[in-house]
């Protein structure tokens, strides 16, 4: 009985973990997300993110921040309260070639991804 209970708990935990995970494809510089299960609005936002947020560094930086909840360079919290500030910080980088609308879209996406990652 105890064994069965433990087995059931393990299955429940695994199911929650799978639900809370991002679908990451590739490693390192080539790391990206699989947006196939995203709602249409987030698919559109992901396209902007995929094109605009790789000019100076790869998507890995943002994906790691979302997965860990920690911004990898500054070691600061990366949560729902921080996404807008990071978006604006990137907009202000010299040569960012982003519009405010691009930043709004990527901030929405980062918030969506944080929720997907269980944060
Ligand atoms: C014009 C160049 C440039 C563009 C475009 C750019 N970034 Fe960055 N990004 C940087 C630089 C430089 C750093 C490291 C220094 C810093 O955080 O200021 C950085 C750092 C980061 C970090 C880590 C921050 C930390 O504190 O650890 C994240 C997350 C991030 N960028 C996300 C994004 C997202 C999302 C986009 C698209 C909206 C984007 N970046 C577009 C230059 C850019």
> Are the C-beta atoms of residues 58 and 29 closer than 8 Å to each other?
yes
CA dist 76 and 79 (Å) reads 9
Binding site membership of 33 for ligand 1 (Cβ less than 6 Å): no
DSSP state of 25: E
Per-residue pLDDT tens for 72-109? 999 999 999 999 999 999 999 999 999 999 999 999 99
Judge whether residue 54 has pLDDT over 70. yes
Whole-structure pTM value: 0.88
Q: Which fold has domain 22-116?
A: Cytochrome Bc1 Complex; Chain D, domain 2 (1.10.760)
Binding site membership of 13 for ligand 1 (Cβ less than 6 Å): no
CA dist 75 and 58 (Å) reads 18
- Give the position of tokens 């070639």: 97
Per-residue pLDDT tens for 9-36? 666 655 555 456 899 999 999 999 999 9
């Amino acid at each position: 009985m105890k064994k069965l209970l433990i087995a059931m708990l393990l299955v429940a935990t695994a199911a929650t973990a799978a639900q809370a995970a991002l679908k990451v494809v590739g490693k390192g510089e080539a790391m990206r997300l699989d947006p196939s299960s995203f709602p249409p609005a987030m698919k559109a936002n992901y396209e902007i993110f995929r094109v605009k947020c790789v000019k100076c560094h790869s998507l890995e930086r943002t994906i790691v921040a979302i997965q860990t909840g920690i911004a990898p360079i500054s070691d600061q919290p990366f949560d729902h309260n921080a996404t807008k500030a990071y978006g604006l910080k990137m907009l202000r980088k010299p040569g960012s070639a982003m519009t405010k609308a691009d930043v709004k879209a990527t901030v929405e996406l980062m918030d969506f991804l944080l929720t997907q990652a269980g944060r």
